[in-house]
A and B are shown apart, each in its own frame.
Chain A
Amino acid sequence: MGTSGPGATNLVTAIGTAQLDSVPMVALTGNVAAPLLGKDAFQEIDITGITLPMTKHNYLVRNADDIPRVVAEAFYIAKTGRPGPVHVDFTKDALQAETRAEHPSLDEIIAGLPGFRPTFEGHPKQLRTAAREIAAARRPLILAGHGVLIAEAWDDLRAFAEKAQIPVAWSLLGIGAMDEEHPLAYGYMGMHGWKHVNRAIQSADLIIAIGMRFDDRVTGSVKTYAPYARIIHADIDPAEIGKNVAVEVPIVGDAKNVLVGLTRLVHAVDPKDSAVYFDQLKTWREESLASSWHGSGRSDILTADHVVERIGELTDHIATYVADVGQNQMWLARYTKFRRPHSHISSGGLGTMGFAVPAAMGAALGNPGAETWAVCGDGGFQMTSQELMTLAADRIPVKIALLDNKKLGMIRQWQELVYAGNYHSSHLPGPDFIKLAEAYGIPAFKVSEPNEVDAAIRAAQSVDGPALIWFEIEQEQNVYPMMPAGKGLSDLIEQRGPEE
């Protein structure tokens, strides 16, 4: 909710974040009185013009009689089909007028939106074609995306994978769709994904993509992406199919319906029949886990991967973990190990720094039963650190793990690896974060050595209400592997050059 003018424009980044990550959101803003629209009145801005290209739909309401219908439509549109943000801007006079208009029924809402009819059921013919492809495949791989979580289809995903004996990889927003301890859970894919997962994609003969959109961070160069694979792509949004990658079997439908339908149609596979494939995957995974870029391999310095691994371990991998954006986000995605659906929240599409703390507050309030951790870097944290006020005022029990490398770490990493060490604006001489947190009355703990990590996490857990841990991590740790922009999944940089 925002007021007119600057209050409304401050919502724009959040709305864009919701749009790119299919988050249901209704944004409400006030505007000047209808007679003043278009007169450049005080705090007037054409906010519906601004949000138009980044919302699922938006409204300018000038008449109080329209408010019940528009608000009902806004919530319906935001939640139905592929979720997304809907923005409603109200003129001041509409908000202050009286009305006897009534809240419409669901049928009335649907009847009033004849252009909005999402397809939920996968077409039976397409499902049968997909099942035939699956039966013929020798190295199939499931790519699970956010759509699986949105459709609450994690059990259906597992059932499908188990029946057909197909390993599952996931995108950043697909994390949690599969319990990472499951034998068929293969890992996180893409630019900073696991090498073994990207190798599996590059050698697969069939990809079954469910509720994901082949983002460029997932595919890298499309030309060389999954060169041996035929692709089955199921998504509730027809526009996502064939947008980034040409596919052989398109299926428009809700992930749950598609997975249930496919499970019914595929043959039960004995894992022994795929032993050669699974042995290969296992070897790749072992190589990948053993290689040097998994953490630093050093026990004397405080590394980020160690911190997020410990947070995962000490929360039984079932807390809600909210990432910020950058290196911290990739470390969290790679090393925390997520065992519960919706345990991971991240700004994937827009990559909005400053996301973690405010989003974690929402996550904690929305799911009070789960312990909630905001994992952020010092750069992102300082973009919204004023939210500590809300955190303290409402005593929202968010534990903040601040991974401070005194850098915009991902920017520094690129400047090192892509721009020949030409560092610019990536060093951040931050404040004393203990003093900052305590100034808001939030208990804070400082960790500089690896052996202090567990005690600090437990101390933060024992605080009733918000707490912050300031981890002073190794300043120049990179996230590996890394797929350079414009390159393909087979072109991973795996470690620093030999001079390190």
Chain B
Amino acid sequence: VSPDPATAPAGTAPAAPPDRAIPGSGEFKRHILIVLVMDKPGVLNRVASLMRARNFNIDSLAVSRTDKDHISRMTLTLHGDDVAVEQAAKQLYRLIDVLKVQDVTQDQVVEHELALIKVRATDGNRAEVIKIVELYKGAIVDISAESVIVEAHGTETEIDALVALLRSYGIKELVRTGATVMLRGAGSIEEALRL
């Protein structure tokens, strides 16, 4: 009756069962969370503190107001397995100021990130740099004798690719906003809020 090897009749004890899976031990991949929060002082601190305390590493975080009073929006990317990221989302929900958390990793989204890249460029190679930037639908927004500032936008991977190309010319400075994301179609995370 009992599968407990200690009590099963001799010779009938089943093989030891497989180990129980540890939550968070699955395949790591990039996740994108949209987090709608109350626009109150300290709310960013609460989100950041929670992610740190719960041992999640934020890859990027973009924060802004929405068109609704008192509501701010964060786009947060992190790496983890599905269970761990779900746990992160559930922990975020425990914050009183958090209204909505949605993992849009599997959804059809528009993803945009803005980057400013200050690249070493002189009379000798400036044309080359400009050509690369044009191919990536970027723009030159500042020129000096020894450098240009490139403005680039696109998905994280597109910007990664451009940065990799420009690295050979010498990147003097780089700033990225982090991903901002919106679901395609007419649905609205904001309108779905029940306040």
Contact = CB atoms under 8 A, between A and B. Distances in A.
Interface of A: 48-49, 52-53, 56-57, 60, 77, 113-116, 138-139, 199, 202-203, 205, 222-228, 237-239, 242-246, 276-277, 280
Given A52-B45, A115-B99, A224 B19 contact: yes
A53 B1 contact: no
B170 interface: no
Contacts of A237: 94
Interface string B69-86: 000000000000001001
A136 to B, nearest CB: 15
A114 B16 CA distance: 49
B10 interface: no
Interface stretch (B46-54, B154-162, B183-191): B46-54
Contact of B4 (A60, A199, A242, A245): A199
B91 A239 contact: yes
B90 A57 contact: no
Contacts of B90: 238-239
Nearest to A277: B1
B20 A115 contact: no
Contacts of B1: 138, 276-277, 280
Interface of B: 1-4, 6-7, 16-17, 19-23, 37-38, 42, 45-46, 49-50, 53, 83, 86-87, 90-91, 93-99, 193-195
Given A225-B20, A242-B86, A114 B2 contact: no
Given A222-B20, A243-B87, A280-B1, 19 more contacts: A53-B50, A56-B96, A57-B95, A114-B99, A114-B193, A115-B38, A138-B1, A199-B4, A203-B7, A227-B17, A227-B20, A228-B3, A228-B4, A238-B93, A239-B87, A239-B90, A242-B23, A242-B83, A277-B1
A53 B96 contact: no
A49 B97 CA distance: 16
Contacts of A53: 49-50, 53
18 contacts: A49-B45, A53-B49, A57-B96, A114-B38, A114-B195, A115-B95, A139-B2, A199-B6, A224-B19, A227-B17, A238-B90, A239-B87, A239-B90, A242-B86, A242-B87, A243-B87, A246-B21, A276-B1
B7 A280 contact: yes
A239 B93 contact: yes
A19 to B, nearest CB: 11
B3 A203 contact: yes
Pick the most buried of B1, B2, B6, B16: most chain A CB atoms within 10 A of its CB: B2
A242 B83 CA distance: 8
Contacts of A224: 19-20
A227 B16 contact: yes
A203 B2 contact: yes
Contacts of A57: 95-96
Given A202-B4, A280-B2, A115 B98 contact: yes
A115 B4 CA distance: 46
A226 B20 contact: yes
Contacts of B23: 242-246
A227 B98 CA distance: 37
B17 A228 contact: yes
B49 A52 contact: yes
B59 to A, nearest CB: 21
Contacts, number: 82
Contacts of A48: 42
A115 B22 CA distance: 30
A26 to B, nearest CB: 14
A224 B4 CA distance: 13
Which 9 A-B residue pairs are closest in the complex by CB-CB distance?
Answer: A203-B4, A239-B90, A227-B17, A223-B19, A57-B96, A114-B195, A115-B99, A53-B53, A116-B96
A500 B120 CA distance: 76
B101 to A, nearest CB: 10
Contacts of A114: 38, 99, 193-195
Contacts of B94: 56, 237, 239
A199 B7 CA distance: 10
A113 B20 contact: no
Nearest to A219: B20
Nearest to B194: A114
A113 B96 contact: yes
Nearest to A82: B94
Contacts of A116: 96
Contacts of B21: 246
A138 B90 CA distance: 33
Pick the most buried of A114, A202, A237: most chain B CB atoms within 10 A of its CB: A114
Contacts of A225: 20
A113 B23 CA distance: 31
Contacts of A205: 3
Contacts of A139: 2
A277 B7 CA distance: 12
Given A52-B45, A53-B50, A203-B3, A246 B96 contact: no
A381 to B, nearest CB: 32
Nearest to A54: B53
A57 B97 CA distance: 9
B49 A115 contact: no
B86 A223 contact: no
A278 to B, nearest CB: 11
Nearest to A242: B23
Contact of B46 (A52, A77, A228, A280): A52
Contacts of B194: 114
Contacts of A228: 3-4, 17
A56 B96 CA distance: 8
Nearest to B193: A114
B74 to A, nearest CB: 13
A115 B37 CA distance: 8
A237 B90 CA distance: 9
Contacts of A56: 94, 96
A139 B3 CA distance: 10
Contact of B22 (A52, A223, A277): A223
Nearest to B8: A203
Contacts of B49: 52-53
B20 A245 contact: yes
A60 B105 CA distance: 36
